[in-house]
Amino acid sequence: MESPNNNNHHASPTIDEIAHCAYLIWIDEGRPEGREREHWYQAETQLHMCRAHDGWIGETDRAAHHSIDE
């Protein structure tokens, strides 16, 4: 049985995670003014995509281990 902490890849990103990611995007793009919302939505999208990808990888890994164990 898996612990609840192993399912974090399915959880929505927190406000702090999105803010940190948006900040890094802002820095990476040269600290432009007036693009806060764009950076926020970009960060949110990236975090959701990363979590979805991690979840897919996790499911693939579990399937592979299950096949090997049989």
Give the model's pLDDT for residue 53. Answer: 80
Give the model's pLDDT for residue 42. Answer: 97
Give the model's pLDDT for residue 9. Answer: 47
- Number of Cβ within 10 Å of residue 26's Cβ equals 19
* C-alpha span between 13 and 51 (Å, rounded): 9
The pLDDT tens digits for 1-52 are: 333 444 444 678 999 999 999 999 999 999 999 999 999 999 999 999 998 8
The amino acid at residue 63 is A
Model pTM score: 0.63
